[in-house]
Amino acid sequence: MSLSLRQQALRKIPKVDEMLSRPEILELLKIHPRQVVVEAIRKGLGRLREEILHREDAFQSAAPPFSFDHLYSLFQKEIELQVQPRLRHVINATGVVIHTNLGRSPLHPSAIEHLIDVSKHYSNLEYNLELGERGSRYAHVEEILCRLSGAESALVVNNNAGAVLLVLNTLAEGKEVIVSRGELVEIGGAFRIPDVMRRSGALLREVGTTNRTHLSDYQKAIGPQTGLLLKVHTSNFRVMGFASEVSLQELVQLGKQFQLPVVDDLGSGCFIDLTQYGLEKEPTVQEMIKTGADAVTFSGDKLLGGPQAGIILGKKKWLDLFKNNPLNRALRIDKLTLAALESTLLLYIDEKKAMEEIPTLRMLSLDTKKLKRKGKRLWKRLSGLTDKGMTIALKEDVSQVGGGALPLQELPTLVVAIKPFGFSVNHLEEKLRKGEPPIISRISKEELILDMRTVIDEEIPLLAVGIKNALNHLSRNDEKFH
């Protein structure tokens, strides 16, 4: 459409009031609140304006006289959008298993059933059925957590950031916390250890350098102001080369010597030694408890594969203090999370089952044979598209763990790579992202990459339909202009 045609078209866009008097719209007003309809018309007309300005394929619909049917369909779409939830299912084809932006860990079916059951009915959330009196919400998971980890006591809160805040506030408000400079990390979502520490009322005492910190650095910093020795898992990065850090074990010895509590923020936290499954070493929760650390904190939705939660394990005398801190009331875990967490933890009683069934762990341990099978299933459904000006190939690639765990681990994977010729790969990525359901992919070397590791089996048909729709649409536009 030429510039002047566009300008003419823009001037002819009808007014909201004009639309409101149409009989079809009067019908809509009988079904929906006026505010919803008016908003839908306003937005629908805005969309028409966008079409005129940007859509090359919109000759018929975006040129005056505008077809009312087209306008009506725009309004209806806007009404639907207003009542549709914004938070929804997306297909993760990025290959990043613990993807914080995409909701981290999908839950196991037993966790989902449990949270539905507990939320549908009343529950014994804070009621002791044995004694017929008030009980503790934490009691439901404390036993299983202690059993799995070997810790004396346990507490669960809203998330790990909350767990760290609670621990620091309880043990070191107004006191110094000694931390290695190499561990003052920022984790995605602007969680910075120094910032959390400030908010907890503790004073940060940095020791060592970025790449090297020695036991003597901690020792020299200890004084009457010291409240706590803290170790932080560096999560999403590693210091390589000329580097050294003090182990939790050594720190615990030092803490004993000076009668200071020692806490480890483990970040991801896992009960299974992943080296058995061909993955890099990640310290397990049990190993960290065994060092004699006073408290260990970690997330529920990273390697553990459960819901968002912060788990604190350790010595009873400290855990009792955490439980009684009024801040705990503000950070407390809700019943839905608690249900999902309990069911996830119960799966760990049988380690093999946990590895096979917890979605996050299963995706991490998928072998190339299984990945290839998934890739072929998708590829088959897409065959027939290759004559439409693109290549679709199964390729080897690598996926990432994500969630601040195993940052250097490269997981060999299989991807479906789509290389279009007639239109840009960026358009394809956008079209998929804005589809129903949205498909999140990545672009590498002019190809769209769909990593099969994070695509759930049941999603493959949906994925295929989404890709077909996007490709058909884009190649149709392509034909018009070439």
Kindly tell me the burial class for residue 95, based on how many C-beta atoms sit within 10 Å of its own C-beta (0-12, 13-18, 19 or more).
buried
Nearer to ligand PLP, 306 or 466 (CB): 306
CB of 191 to ligand PLP, least distance (A): 5
CB of 235 to ligand PLP, least distance (A): 4
CB of 27 to ligand PLP, least distance (A): 49
CB of 298 to ligand PLP, least distance (A): 8
DSSP H/E element including 349: none
Nearer to ligand PLP, 170 or 299 (CB): 299
In the 8-state DSSP scheme, what is residue 397? E
d(CA 22, CA 332): 53
d(CA 454, CA 93): 6
Strands 153-157 and 310-314: antiparallel
Nearer to ligand PLP, 40 or 304 (CB): 304
Nearer to ligand PLP, 92 or 297 (CB): 297
Q: At a CB cut-off of 8 Å and minimum separation 6, what does 143 contact? A: none
CB of 187 to ligand PLP, least distance (A): 5
CB of 2 to ligand PLP, least distance (A): 53
Nearer to ligand PLP, 232 or 366 (CB): 232
Helices (H), 303-437: 316-324, 326-330, 335-347, 351-357, 359-364, 368-382, 425-433
Positions that interact with ligand PLP (CB under 6 A): 159-161, 164, 187, 191, 232-233, 235, 265, 267-268, 299, 310, 404
C-beta atoms surrounding 230 within 10 Å? 27
Question: In the complex, which residue's CB is closest to ligand PLP?
Answer: 267
CB of 13 to ligand PLP, least distance (A): 46
Among 191, 159, 182, residue whose Cα is nearest residue 298: 159
The token pair at 234 is 């560096």
Assign 3-state DSSP to the chain and report helix, strand, coil percentages, each to 5.
Answer: 45, 20, 35
Block residue for tokens 């390697």:
303
Nearer to ligand PLP, 45 or 309 (CB): 309
Block residue for tokens 């002791």:
128
CB of 114 to ligand PLP, least distance (A): 20
Nearer to ligand PLP, 161 or 470 (CB): 161
Q: How far apart are the first and last CA of the chain?
A: 15
Nearer to ligand PLP, 305 or 404 (CB): 404
